[in-house]
Amino acid sequence: MSTQASPKRSWTFWAGFAIVTLLIAGVVSYFASSSPDGLDSATLQGCEVVETADGEELTGSCIAQDATDHHMSSSPLADYSIAGGENTGGIAGILGVLVTLAIAGAAFWVISRSRSSKD
């Protein structure tokens, strides 16, 4: 295939992909459903979630009762917030996108270099 994209078209593609990604993490994420997902609701089968003074508790018998507190629950970005702040999910999401891009970009660059240095 010889579709070498023109420089302008190529620039539009990369900018568009990046902007869409940032908009999803920074804006669309506010509209996400807060219901437990398929796996979480499977682990909650048999339990009822009861609000108590100490937060939510599980009554009954279910898989989720085995879950332990997260090792990183004191991370400043825990649960997609900035230090637990209200409505900071979008900023946390954008930070996550940038961190993921940096780590993945660096890892894939190193992997691609390891081949060309051998050839």
Partner 1 sequence: MTVSSVAMHMSDGIVNAPVSLLFIAIAIAAVALCGWRARAELDERTVPLAGLVAAFVFAVQMVNFPILPGVSGHLLGGALAAILVGPYTGALCITIVLVVQSLLFADGGVTALGTNITNMAVIGVAAGYGTAVLLHSVLKRRNPGSVPLIGAISFIAAVIGTVCAAMGFVLEYAIGGAAQASLSTVAAYMFGTHVLIGIGEGVITALTVMAVVRARPDLVYLLRSGSRTGAEVPA
State which of positions 20-39 bind partner 1 (CB under 8 A).
20-22, 24-25, 28-29, 31-39
Q: Which of 6, 52, 56, 86 binds partner 1 (CB under 8 A)?
A: 56
At 30, list the tokens.
């506010």
91, 82 Cβ separation under 8 angstroms: yes
Sequence-ordered list of residues with C-beta below 8 angstroms from that of 57, at least 6 positions apart, any chain: 49, 50
Q: Is 67 a binder of partner 1 (CB under 8 A)?
A: yes
Nearest-5° angle of CA 15, CA 21, CA 22? 90
- Return the number of the residue (10 or 85) whose C-beta is nearest partner 1: 10
Q: Is 108 a binder of partner 1 (CB under 8 A)?
A: yes
Q: Is 85 a binder of partner 1 (CB under 8 A)?
A: no
